[in-house]
Structure 1
Amino acid sequence: MQSSVGNTDAGKRGMNLTLRIWRQKDPSVKGKMVSYKVTDISPDMSFLEMLDVLNEQLIMQGDDPVAFDHDCREGICGMCGVMINGEAHGPQQTTTCQLHMRSFKDGDKIDIEPWRASPFPVIKDLAVDRRAFDRIIQAGGYISVPTGTAPEAHATPVPKKDSDAAFDAATCIGCGACVAACPNASSMLFTAAKVTHLGLLPQGQPERDDRVVNMVAQQDREGFGGCTNIGECSHACPKGISMETISRLNHDLLGALRAGARPKS
């Protein structure tokens, strides 16, 4: 009778991988793909933990570690994000920090690149500057809701369909996967999510027209491409935000322009 010990040990054996990673010292120099080997990688590691292992290896060898964005590592903050084998965040619809190495096989070759979009210039290696998103949000301005005691919860009824749609749009974490996945590098899904979650709620109504025209104008100024309804944005979105939000944005934009709203110069 064959012992199960050998099988158990084999099951615990880590993976050996070849990583081809984009290395770029800073925006002023040309980058290139560099190959690295990592060994004994646990299938239970997250993708970022695997990069941590590589960086420890590089530091021990006296090399420069790979720069990449990360923060909470819980799929909430939206900081992490890289192209993995040509897919935003990798083969699963989740954030890079929540992608586990069991999605790959022993001996795999993995290409890792930064977000591909001119409005997201490379800072170093896999880290990109996503402040264009911040400027789009800033262009939306504020909502004119008085501060102080919060109103009673049922003072202004909101239809459940609207509240659910607003909540779904508000789950956007601004990671940039929609832009990286889109062949046009369009930010329409991001902008639509930020416009929609306020446009569906009572407190978002006073500035509704100005908000949409200013945010769309700012995304154009940032150099993002136009939306051609390909759908890669929603497919890559780790929060599964629907393209219906883009339809809502277009509806609001047309209504605002017909009402005479014009973007700030």
Structure 2
Amino acid sequence: MKYTLRVWRQNGPDDRGRLVEYTVDGITPDMSFLEMLDVLNERLLLDGDESIAFDHDCREGICGMCGLMINGTAHGPQKATTTCQLHMREFDPRKPITIEPWRARPFPVVRDLVVDRSALDRVIESGGHVGVHAGAAPDAHAVPVPKPDADRAFAAAACIGCGACVAACPNGSAMLFTAAKAVHLAALPPGQPERGTRALTMVQTQDDLGFGGCTQAGECATACPKEIGTDVIALLNRDVLWKVD
């Protein structure tokens, strides 16, 4: 199959950038989206052109490196799927595919489709950890954890930090990411002592980094490849208000 692609090309954060049209042939329905980009890059190099820069690592939907805006949708048209797990059978060869990087002030473009998402790391560094001295590890069943608490922690911990929630949000908010990283700790006993401080510090850090405020648009949960719901934002807000009060 042959596809027409409109790919964002940008030499760096200070470059204006532009969409460049390419045609790529020989694509099979079972190829992943990133494999299709690999094929295009091989042909660009053979023609003496610069390859398209894009992030990727595990290609298994785990690492969160591969995020792209595909036809204006974070990670593309298939729900609960990362870009690397998206296959070309989801696209009509008769229609062009527009590929762009994440769009958010805290995510400056490094080159082409690669953005600097280290701002998310700064949010985690500010409080996404357990800092109290807990001593030696207790026996596995020494601290009972209710099943609902364990399920809540597990669901929030599924966040892979891809940044799709930020890219999809009309405000460029990172609240779903921040909430997931805070709630999965707050739901379990080791994270309880720092619960309020952690929540307040992480929210303040994301604000300082230039992320927008949350207005409950819900686009973040729709774009999340791990289907993390906005209920974690409500839990984070509760902890912030508890600390402020």
Same fold (TM over 0.5): yes
Aligned: 1:146 with 2:130 = no
Structure 1 residue aligned with 2:159: 172
Residue of structure 1 aligned with 2:45, choices 59, 63, 70: 59
Shift of 1:208: 1.2
Distance 1:45 1:121 in 2: 29
Cα root mean square deviation, aligned: 1.0
Aligned to 1:19: 5
1:220 to 196, 207, 224: 207
Post-superposition shift, 1:107? 2.3
Residue of 59, 74, 78 corresponding to 2:60: 74
What does residue 22 of structure 2 align with? 36
**Partner Cα separation in structure 2 for residue 140 and residue 211 of structure 1:** 5
C-alpha distance in structure 2 between counterparts of 1:141 and 1:225, whole Å: 19
Q: Indicate yes or no: 2:110 matched with 1:123.
A: yes
Give deviations 1:94-153, integer Å, cap 9, x for gaps: 1000000000122220000000101000000000000000000001064224354x3112
Return closer, same or farther for 1:147/1:24 CA change in 2, 3 Å cut-off.
farther
Consecutive unaligned residues of structure 2, counting only runs of 5 or more, are none
In structure 2, do the counterparts of structure 1 residues 52 and 255 end up closer, same or farther at CA, with 3 Å as the change threshold?
A: same
Equivalent pair of 2:8/2:20 in contact (CA under 8 Å): yes
Find the counterpart in structure 1 of residue 100 from structure 2.
Answer: 113
What is the TM-score of this pair, normalised by structure 1? 0.90
CA distance in 2, matches of 1:147, 1:62: 59
Q: Give distance in 2, aligned partners of 1:44 and 1:108.
A: 18
- Which stretches in structure 1 are left out of the alignment for 5+ residues? 1-14, 259-265
Q: Give the alignment's TM-score, normalised by structure 2.
A: 0.97
Distance 1:245 1:114 in 2: 26
| Alpha-carbon distance in 2 for matches of 1:98, 1:109 | 20
| Partner Cα separation in structure 2 for residue 228 and residue 24 of structure 1 | 31
Q: Is the 8 A contact 2:3 2:23 kept in 1?
A: yes
**Sequence identity (%):** 64
Runs of 4+ residues over 3 Å off in structure 1: 145-148
Structure label with greater radius of gyration: 1
Deviation at 1:162, TM superposition (A): 0.8
Post-superposition CA distance 1:23-65 (Å, at most 9, x none): 0011121100000000121110000000000000100000000
Is this contact kept in 1: 2:128–2:181, CA < 8 A?
A: no
How many residues of Structure 1 are paired with residues of Structure 2 in the alignment? 243
Look up the equivalent residue of 2:238 and give its one-letter code.
H
The answer as to whether partners of 1:189 and 1:233 remain within 8 angstroms in 2 is yes
Q: Is the 8 A contact 1:145 1:203 kept in 2?
A: no
Contact 2:128-2:182 at 8 Å conserved across structures: no
* Amino acid paired to 1:75: G
